[in-house]
Amino acid sequence: MIPFMTKDFLLETSMAKRLFFDYAEHMPIFDYHCHLSAKEIYEDNVFDSLGSLWLDGDHYKWRIMRAAGIPEKYITGSAPIYDKMMAFAKTLPLAIGNPIYHWSHLELQRYFGITVPFDERTAPSIMEKADNLIKEKQLSPRKMIVCSHVKTLCTTEDPTVDFTYHERLAKQFSDCKVLPAWRPDKALKINETDFIGYLAQLEVKSHIKIKSYGDLLNALENRMDDFALHGCIASDHDINRPIYIGVDEASVESLFQKRLQGNLLTEDEYHAYRSALLLHLAKSYHKRNWAMELHVGCNRNQNHRMTRLLGESTGFDSTGDYEVAEGVGAFLDALASQAELPKAILFSLNPKDNWILASLANTFQGTEIPSKIQLGAAWWMQDHKYGMEQQLIALSSSGLLGTFIGMLTDSRSFLSYSRHEYFRRILCNFIGNLVENGEYPMSENLGKLVENICYNNATYYFKI
């Protein structure tokens, strides 16, 4: 029997171990999509406790606690953090096979040197040791970023963001580039109840009155210019159901005016508006050499009662089941036909879409950069061992694994960089097995290929 999570964790062959320890382990991290706060990074306050690091805002852990029947009081409620952690300690041993079990113990090992499993019996002593280390080492956001060897991270930001903290970090935090990534979802979701109020916020930030669709485009272009000045290299879109409906600008204007008058658009009108605006934005990304990240297949806020009680992003989203080939393909084709297709990274929350998106990516490649259109890493509810392996199989079977830009955290936690190690171990095991099985030759290029996937490909792709 192999001991629990030793240094060879997930590495099944001698080649996998060699690739990880000689090449992957020490590579820097480029986290091109996360939800960390630039304000928290700038303020750099010492963390309160392991409990706050683990449970504040982490809907991954909240979901498994709910699955264990833990009352909400001990998840997002008013219970003391010690009691919440004891509730989590009761839950975690049940999560056999779940990546949260692996992530949590990697975090304990890498950041606190704790190797014993976390459960109700060990939780008090583990919390005491971790909390003492946090105070002793004065662990803070910047220290966690530096010790994780993160060289660049992109925080997901709305067009109305205030760049104060990004500007301060650019001057005072030389160890890591903290760049804003553009996420204009609120401008695309025209039927949301707060859409008109959002336009008012956008007016303030852009200094442009928005009375027409053309005004909206000008306001967004104004803000993209500001994002570019602050180092933006990527956009991010929550597409959910990818339907593309081509429509002329005059028709889009009439749809925009309909919404300004307080009327909701029909489903077809909604998709026509979103298609037109997304097409315009993508052309702007091409002009600016930004990468366009498209996230499809997520059903947001499925549990309406709990979402009303706790708000969005509290653990009540689920995997969607949509047809993606026609909509994504038509959208990419509309851009390619005008020679304005930007770099694009295609993600889906549904693993059935891996093969479709991998195939689409290779239909629209260009000569500007290797693998201009990427099949994104296993994302969110798929970033477990099986999901990562399935993504690697689809990518390597359909395209070029050697040009893959690798992992991202998509996280709000400063401990989540252990997920890069998790991915790198799985990657090295995947490649190591191919070599051991005689499916790829043993060569001097293997190490470089691994280093590229871990870090170098992303820096080249995003032009850092």
69-78 pLDDT, tens per residue? 999 999 999 9
Residue 441 has pLDDT above 90, yes or no: yes
Is 30 in contact with 455 (CB distance < 8 Å)? Answer: yes
What token pair was written down for 329? 């393909």
A 10 A CB-CB count for 126 gives 20
Could you tell me which of 30, 35, 38, 144 has the C-alpha nearest to residue 464? 30
Burial class (CB in 10 A: 0-12, 13-18, 19+), 25: middle
Q: What is the pLDDT of residue 129?
A: 98
Query: pLDDT tens digits for 17-46?
Result: 999 999 999 999 999 999 999 999 999 999
Q: Which letter does DSSP use for residue 342 in this model?
A: P
**How much is the average pLDDT of 171-183?**
98
Tokens 């997930």 map to which residue?
Answer: 10
Q: What is the pLDDT of residue 5?
A: 97
Residue 315 has pLDDT above 90, yes or no: yes
Distance CA(445)–CA(199), nearest Å, equals 52
Distance CA(81)–CA(97), nearest Å, equals 26
Is 239 in contact with 282 (CB distance < 8 Å)? Answer: no
Question: What's the whole-model pTM score?
Answer: 0.97
Query: pLDDT tens digits for 274-305?
Result: 999 999 999 999 999 999 999 999 999 999 99
A 10 A CB-CB count for 99 gives 21
Q: What angle do CA 281, 333, 215 make, to 5 degrees?
A: 20
Distance CA(182)–CA(170), nearest Å, equals 18
Longest CA–CA span in the chain (Å) reads: 68
Distance CA(98)–CA(430), nearest Å, equals 19
Q: Sign (positive/negative) of CA torsion 130, 135, 140, 146?
A: negative
Query: pLDDT tens digits for 108-150?
Result: 999 999 999 999 999 999 999 999 999 999 999 999 999 999 9
Q: Work out the pLDDT band at 249, boundaries 50, 70, 90.
A: confident
Q: What angle do CA 10, 370, 345 make, to 5 degrees?
A: 65
Query: pLDDT tens digits for 367-421?
Result: 999 999 999 999 999 999 999 999 999 999 999 999 999 999 999 899 999 999 9
Q: Which letter does DSSP use for residue 127 in this model?
A: H
Residue 197 has pLDDT above 90, yes or no: yes
Residue 440 has pLDDT above 90, yes or no: yes
Tokens 């709910």 map to which residue?
Answer: 66
Residue 464 has pLDDT above 90, yes or no: no
Q: What is the pLDDT of residue 34?
A: 95
**How much is the average pLDDT of 414-443?**
96
DSSP string, 399-458: S-GGG--------S-TTTTHHHHHHHHHHHHHHHHHHHTTSS---THHHHHHHIIIIIHH
**How much is the average pLDDT of 256-267?**
98
Percentage of residues of the chain with pLDDT beyond 70 = 100
Query: pLDDT tens digits for 42-58?
Result: 999 999 999 999 999 89
Q: What is the pLDDT of residue 175?
A: 97
Query: pLDDT tens digits for 346-355?
Result: 999 999 999 9
**How much is the average pLDDT of 328-342?**
98
Is 136 in contact with 129 (CB distance < 8 Å)? Answer: no
Q: Sign (positive/negative) of CA torsion 423, 428, 434, 440?
A: positive
Q: What is the pLDDT of residue 444?
A: 82
Bridge partners (DSSP) of residue 373 are: 344
